[in-house]
Structure 1
Amino acid sequence: MASGKSKAIPSDKINLRLILVSGKTHEALFSTTDSASHITQHIYDSWPEDWVDEERPECNILRLIYQGRFLHGNVTLGALQLTPGKTTVMHLVARENLPEPNNRDQLKKDKGRETGCANCCTIV
């Protein structure tokens, strides 16, 4: 998990380019089995030198955003189907709580749980 810029990316690692709200960036290598919580812990523990003037929030509120979605702590880079040997951009933000899911997948799940009279009653 060494940091690096403009270096060759090992074929078994994913280079994450993390962007802060301020626009500052930092790159670090991770494996496909690393989870979002592992990544945020690593960044917290080895806060980049070029971010020293940025306020370092508590580790438990650091969150990753990938393609507009907050990543929950146990999701791995492999589960996101990121390609090893490539650079992927994610945002790193301080946020106490994750937003509630509000997408089509959640709506489908909710509709699947609906029960109506046709599903539970028998009229004789």
Structure 2
Amino acid sequence: MSAKNIPGDKINLRLILVSGKTKEFVFSPVDSAGDIALHVYDNWPEADWATECVSRAEILRLIYQGRFLHSSVTLGALGLPLGRTTVMHLVPREHLPEPNSHDQRQKSKGGSSSCCSASCCIL
């Protein structure tokens, strides 16, 4: 889909699977990560993604800028540009990682967090 075909009030998502296969879908800024997972599951591209098929929508997770998105986060809340294409990864995963799991491992090893002294939160 070229930029001229994306409606000005929509967001084109290019979703990348672990295998490297991609597919594009158009969504509204009010659509949440959970809505997107359900839409992709219900409209699974059988021809292209047959080997990556999952058993249910709830295990599909979006990753944006290196962070897992919780199902309630909307595209608008992420500040994604309208009428443009945004790339996200789509992975099958039962549970999201704990928000501070990396920090806890570092502290237990006696190291300090590479981030900062404030606690980080995954959206």
Query: Are 2:7 and 2:83, in contact at CA under 8 Å, matched by a contact in 1?
Result: yes
Which digits, 9 at most, give the CA deviation of each residue in 1:51-93, with x for residues without a partner?
Answer: 1232324211110000000000100000000010000000000
* TM-score normalised according to structure 1 size: 0.77
> What is the alpha-carbon distance in structure 2 between the residues aligned to residue 40 and residue 60 of structure 1?
7
Which digits, 9 at most, give the CA deviation of each residue in 1:5-43, with x for residues without a partner?
Answer: 336111000000000000000000000000000000000
Partner of 2:76: 78
96-105 or 6-15: bigger deviation: 96-105
Query: Are 1:19 and 1:91, in contact at CA under 8 Å, matched by a contact in 2?
Result: yes
Residues 108 and 9 of structure 1, relative CA distance in 2, 3 Å threshold: closer
Work out whether 1:12 is the aligned partner of 2:12: no
Structure index of larger Rg: 1
Amino acid at match of 1:26: K
Partner of 1:33: 30
Amino acid at match of 1:93: V
Residues 108 and 58 of structure 1, relative CA distance in 2, 3 Å threshold: closer
Local SS of the residue matching 1:73: coil
* TM-score normalised according to structure 2 size: 0.77
> What is the alpha-carbon distance in structure 2 between the residues aligned to residue 55 and residue 31 of structure 1?
24
Work out whether 1:54 is the aligned partner of 2:62: no
Residues 105 and 24 of structure 1, relative CA distance in 2, 3 Å threshold: farther
> What is the alpha-carbon distance in structure 2 between the residues aligned to residue 9 and residue 62 of structure 1?
24
Partner of 1:99: 97
Provide structure 1 residue ranges, at least 5 long, that are not aligned to the other structure: 110-124
Partner of 1:65: 63
Residues 108 and 95 of structure 1, relative CA distance in 2, 3 Å threshold: closer
Amino acid at match of 1:24: K
Partner of 1:122: none
